[in-house]
A and B are shown apart, each in its own frame.
Chain A
Amino acid sequence: MKSSELAKSLNLTLLVDVESEIHIEGVYIGDLLSIVMAKAKNNYAWITIQTHINIIAVAELLELSCIIIVENMEVDNDTLDKAKELNIPIFKTEKTAYEIACILYDMGIK
């Protein structure tokens, strides 16, 4: 699906749009980068409150499908710039990680 479509169906703000399609094969929730690095997998959507540029490094390393920033956390500009450069979609929402996870579950990502 297109990042704009995902943004619409989850009611997310699209911070970094990409040309390519997003494939979500799973979801990981976590804020401690080292644990995310060990547990999240290729093509997973990652739900986090972290906004530092290091999250882009983690997403790039694991080839995650997108990052969803929850709790309306302010995202650093260099984080967004790097995400654009590397084609990593970033979304933002005021909802909690749990609420977003529930919506993704209802969408059939299990």
Chain B
Amino acid sequence: MKELSMHILDIVMNSVKAEASLIEIEIEDSIKNNIIRIIIKDNGRGMSEETLNNVTNPFYTTRNTRKVGLGLPMLKEACERCNGNFKIVSEFGKGTMVESFFERNNIDRAPLGSMGVTMMTIINSLDDCELIYNHKTDKNSFQLSTAKIKEILDGIDIKSNDIMLWIKEYVDENIKELY
């Protein structure tokens, strides 16, 4: 995919389908260590060992409508293309964690993309599920928590247009300040 944020969106949608009630996204972007580390963790239904062993095989998918599933295989390929690596751990009934590393200055490393748009899209697709997003750089860190936003909103729908647009700008502006 053209941007790492598209991979994030794609993987988070797996968590949504796994009926998670909490999804955590952690991005560590370090120029000093020349690494981008992306962790997506959920408390969804998890996977059996058989499924887990097959997740990076594009011809294995839990969906019945399509013969192939490419989300995780493409992320793994994207990591390996730029000298990084990919790891997934999952436990049935407990949840799943996808961890990917990218060599930051690798020429084939896709840019991160707009996390504001990505967060807006993700939050808009969540029902009865909270999201925590942490973004860390060498300088500072930023956190977005839907539970905290909902507390402040005091009953106003987080998915209303104004709030969605605000989240997008809030995330993009705060991330810009981390660099």
Which of A32, A54, A60 is most buried by chain B, counting CB atoms within 10 A of its CB? A54
A10 within 8 A of B: no
Chain A residues in 8 Å Cβ range of B1:
32-34
The listed residue (A35, A37, A82) touching B70 by CB distance below 8 A is A37
**Residues on A with beta carbons closer than 8 Å to the beta carbon of B63:** none
In contact, B59 and A57 (Cβ under 8 angstroms)? yes
Q: Known A33-B70, A37-B70; judge A82-B59 contact (CB<8 A).
A: yes
- The smallest beta-carbon distance between B121 and chain A, in angstroms, is 16
Q: Map CB proximity to B onto A88-106 as digits: 1 under 8 Å, 0 otherwise.
A: 0000000000000000000
Query: What 1/0 flags go to B43-75 for Cβ under 8 Å of A?
Result: 000000000000001110000001110100110
Q: Which A residues are CB-close (under 8 A) to B70?
A: 33, 37, 54, 57-58, 61
Q: How many residues of B contact A (CB 8 A)?
A: 13
Q: For the complex, would chain A's binding face be called helix, strand, loop or mixed by DSSP majority?
A: helix
Chain B residues with CB below 8 A from A35, complex form = 2
Contacting A at CB under 8 A, from B64-93, are 66-68, 70, 73-74, 77
Alpha-carbon separation in the docked complex, A35 to B68 (Å): 16
* Min C-beta distance of A49 to chain B, whole Å: 12
Nearest residue, chain B, Cβ from A50: B77
Report B111 CB to chain A, min CB distance, Å: 13
Collect the chain B residues with CB atoms within 8 Å of residue A58's CB.
70
Most buried by A among B1, B57, B58, B73: B58
- List the 5 shortest-distance A-B pairs measured between CB atoms, nearest first: A57-B58, A57-B68, A34-B1, A54-B73, A54-B58
- Name 23 A/B residue pairs within 8 A (Cβ), A-sorted: A32-B2, A33-B1, A33-B70, A34-B1, A34-B2, A34-B6, A34-B74, A35-B2, A37-B70, A53-B58, A53-B73, A54-B77, A56-B58, A56-B59, A57-B58, A57-B59, A57-B70, A57-B73, A60-B59, A60-B67, A61-B66, A61-B70, A82-B59
Inter-chain pairs besides A33-B77, A57-B70, 12 sampled, C-beta below 8 Å: A37-B70, A52-B77, A53-B57, A53-B58, A53-B73, A54-B70, A54-B74, A54-B77, A57-B58, A58-B70, A60-B59, A60-B68
